[in-house]
Amino acid sequence: MAAIFQGVGAAAPLSSSPSNSFDSNKSVFSPRRSFSVRKRASFAVVRSDGIVNLNPKGRSAQRLISNAVATKADSPAASSSSKPGHELLLFEALQEGLEEEMERDPRVCVMGEDVGHYGGSYKVTKGLAKRFGDLRVLDTPIAENSFTGMGIGAAMTGLRPVIEGMNMGFLLLAFNQISNNCGMLHYTSGGQFTIPVVIRGPGGVGRQLGAEHSQRLESYFQSIPGIQMVACSTPYNAKGLMKAAIRSENPVILFEHVLLYNLKERLPDEDYICNLEEAEMVRPGEHVTILTYSRMRYHVMQAAKTLVNKGYDPEVIDIRSLKPFDLHTIGNSVKKTHRVLIVEECMRTGGIGASLTAAITENFNDYLDAPIMCLSSQDVPTPYAGTLEEVTVVQPAQIVTAVEQICQ
């Protein structure tokens, strides 16, 4: 395999060769996971005006139900063709960012299960194998520990691998490689090696995917020294974080949520990246700071509409960088509002919220006028039944109630 990866940088010209063409309809996929992927890859376009189009080619659109993924605030109707930039779904934004970086830097390569001609379980790598060839977009066996370790070794030799976990829960099989190798080799080698690797994939509570496919591994990975963690929540920051992670000299884990892949947003045509260590101010406010990330950003924004109608002015921050925290942005907000609510989909015990609570208490305790409140998922395996699954995750009504309690 070392010989294969040493030649990856020269693999780009192969993509134009007729011998590399491939008919995905004739390919054979792994029986363990590919069929389950087809079921959950239903296509529902979530537009910024709060409309869900279950079939963009013709079916009538319908309003979002109350417990669905929240969208941005309603905006005046305008012709999309008159606006600058281009519209992309979140998974397409990830794909575009990855493709641009592979075009810019021949050291960038992709590996994982079904990432090649199948295009990945959520189509983030669609079309890349045809364009860049099989050496730079490598389909691997169902062996997360093996191909994760292989990617880390490739990074040590000068490549910039992007490793896809078909589901974040599967990466627990590669925990040894991520912890003892990916996070520590720069230190244990005395600085002789850098590990510029990106580990990414879908996670979070979806729609009745069961406990093993609803994992939130932020709490698992946050304790590993030497690793950065970011979570995307919009097409814009998904592309920007992907590009920044690939360019980073540090190992970066990029968390994507299964229910956000079909969010749509207009992106600029110009090249851009997002800061890996910077939070995003989603909504300025005065009364309380709400810190959140990933899918919970939209639950918070749903709750914010109700809170505004009740006379509250919440400040919403998408922390984005899960490790390290952007304490500059967070601290300035705490100094202004003096109250903090943390909303996460991670588990309550040992989760991101617990670490964030500790960081705020240590650094800004004197500015707090009320105890920090944290809303997290319950410490139970995610149920398969839809009604029970919903109960385990924070809902907008709970956020409204929490803000009312904090602001009393």
Q: Give the catalytic positions in this structure.
A: 144, 213
The encoded tokens of residue 375 equal: 């809303």
The angle at the Cα of 271, spanning 6 to 254, to the nearest 5 degrees, equals 60
- Measured CA to CA, the distance from residue 325 to residue 58 in angstroms comes to 44
Determine the 3-state secondary structure of 266 from DSSP.
strand
- Measured CA to CA, the distance from residue 247 to residue 125 in angstroms comes to 18
Determine the 3-state secondary structure of 179 from DSSP.
helix
Omega prior to 202 cis, within 30 of 0: no
> Which residue has 């605030």 as its token pair?
73
Residues linked to residue 52 through DSSP beta bridges, in sequence order: 46, 62
The DSSP letter of residue 60 is P
DSSP string, 188-243: HTTTS-----EEEEEES--SS--STTS--THHHHTTSTT-EEEE--SHHHHHHHHH
Sheet harboring 108-112: ordered strands across? 137-139, 108-112, 160-164, 198-203, 252-257, 228-231, 321-323
The DSSP letter of residue 356 is H
Q: Which of 306, 263, 279, 336 is closest to 398 using CA atoms?
A: 306
> 297: phi > 0 → left, psi -120 to 50 → alpha, else beta; which?
alpha
The answer to whether 235 touches 257, Cβ cutoff 8 Å, is no
Burial class (CB in 10 A: 0-12, 13-18, 19+), 399: buried
The answer to whether 106 touches 12, Cβ cutoff 8 Å, is yes
- Measured CA to CA, the distance from residue 12 to residue 318 in angstroms comes to 37
The encoded tokens of residue 109 equal: 């390569």
What backbone phi and psi angles, to 5 degrees, belong to 89? Answer: -75, 165
